[in-house]
Structure formats: C-alpha cells, structure tokens
Homo-oligomer: A and B are copies of this chain.
C-alpha cells in the first residue's frame, strides 16, 4: 500500500483522542515479526483510534538497534498508508541520533515525533530547555514532549513545558507521570495555547483527564482492545457518567490483571504475552527483557479469556 494523501493522516491541532503506543512485534530480540506487525496494525486501526505512536516506551524503542528502528518506521508507515497519523519516538542519549531517527521518520511519511529527556545524564531544567531550543529546529516534523520520570528520572517541570510551548514545532505533551496534580498545573499554564495537545499516559487516568479538559490518552491497553479506550474517550467527552464508570472499571480490570503478573517488568511482558495469546503477534521482547515462562503465560491466557479479548 502507498500513502494516500486523501486519507486522515493530517495531524490535528491539538491532537485529540486515543493515541496507541504500539508494542513492537518481534520474532527475536533483533528481528521484526513483520506479519505480527501487520495484524496488530489492522487490529488497532479497526478500533477507531486517532493516532499511532511507535518506538515509545511500550514500543521498546530505546532497546532496538537503529536498523530495526528504521524497519519499524518504514513498515508501519507503509502499512498504515495514511489511515491515521503516525508519531515516532526519537528519545536518545545522543542529540545527533535523535535527529537521525527523526529524518528517517519524515522520509517514511510519519506525521510527528515524540521526545523524552535524553536518558543517562541528569540535567537541570535550564539545560533541558536549551536542549529543546537547539533540537527543535533540526527536526523535520512537529514534536510532542514526553514526560516519563519513571524511566528518565527527570521531569519537564510545568514552567519548562510552558516555555517549550513557545518553541516552533513543539506541539504537545504526553504526560506519563501518573501525577494529575502535575497535569492540572500544566493545563493552567497552557490555557492560552489551546492548540497545544495535553495527553495522558496511564490509561487508568484517561477518564479524568478528558473530564477535566485534557485532549486524550496515549494508552498501552489500546494495543489489545482499542475500541474500549476510544469508547471511554467518547463517553468522557459527552459526560455520560454511567458509561464512563463502567468503561473506566473495565480499564482498571485489564490493568489489574494483564499488567500485574510476575515479579518484574509486568506491564511490557503482560501486554506482549496477551497479544500473543490473542494470536496477534509473538511475545518476544528486546534485551534486557525476556517473555513470560509457561506459568505466567497460562495466567495471562486465563485473563485474556475472562476479559473477552480472545478473538
């Protein structure tokens, strides 16, 4: 399939709704599960989501070789073929490599970029703002900031987000801090920038985000059950209290089951294992992670059944 400009891949301002942080289907740690990728894309797009975000945390982006990252970008953009906007994670310890991945994303036809702090070196807020001022002009596509303190150990402080929103090309924030106090502070500071997208990471906070004026969610569970999150977004937009509560409970149930098996790395391993039990793609993970063993897999398989996610 070729990209078709008549389709809805134009990036809205602000971006609204459900963005799926796509897992990367792998057949082993350095090989794409290309058929799994196609099945997953069809499954997700069929759910009516608003955009796709590849090579993020859920996509294990930083763990993949650059060769593999490029392959994921190209195959995804080609297969999506403009049906939804594609956002590409470019977080990297090295400035130059972030630019390099960004250029590949542009070439392949992606619509936007997503950028967390460069991991490894602790940096102060003025350093981070400088970095954004230097990086943004080098990027060929609009960029979303990605606040991910659990992984980068740094925060885009509200004032830094406000200042960054004035840098041309920075068009939104994905906040995965799970801290709604932080999110509301950012909202207050951004009142004068209604086109700056404010999206929330944890799906467990989607309902309240939308109820209180946020633009949507970047929710991992939408890999498994995209329509659920789209429905919850819509219910929240229309203030349908009863429907919100019932869909929010369903989201919480998935979270409390699929993401809580095993003693560590339960989110990523649970999500990929569930997709494998659903027959969509392999459960292989990139180093340093390993898929679940038989015992945990059986537990996940039971939950997949129970939650009605079996295809």
Q: A interface vs B, CB < 8 Å?
A: 29-30, 57, 60, 62-68, 91-97, 118-124, 126-128, 130-131, 134-135, 150-153, 178-181, 184-185, 187-188, 202, 204-205, 207-208, 211-213, 239, 241, 244-245, 248-249, 252-253, 255-256, 263-265, 286-290
Q: For A91, list chain B residues within 8 Å (CB).
A: 120
| Of the residues B122, B208, B245, contact of A151 by C-beta under 8 Å | B122
| Chief secondary structure at chain A's binding surface | helix
Which residue of the partner chain, among B57, B180, B202, B211, contacts A178 with CB atoms under 8 Å? Answer: B180
Q: How far is the CB of A280 from chain B (nearest CB, A)?
A: 23
Cα–Cα, bound, A186→B15 (Å): 31
| Most chain B CB within a 10 A radius of its CB, from A179, A187, A207, A211 | A211
**Are B94's CB and A122's CB within 8 A?**
no
Residue of A29, A152, A289 with highest tally of chain B CB at under 10 A: A289
Chain B nearest CB, measured from A159 CB (Å): 11
| Beyond A63-B118, A212-B248, 19 extra complex contacts between A and B, CB < 8 Å | A29-B95, A30-B95, A30-B96, A63-B93, A95-B286, A118-B287, A118-B288, A120-B152, A123-B264, A126-B264, A127-B265, A180-B204, A184-B248, A185-B255, A188-B256, A207-B211, A208-B211, A212-B244, A213-B245
Which residues of B have CB within 8 Å of A128? Answer: 288
Q: CA A135 – CA B130 in complex, angstroms?
A: 36
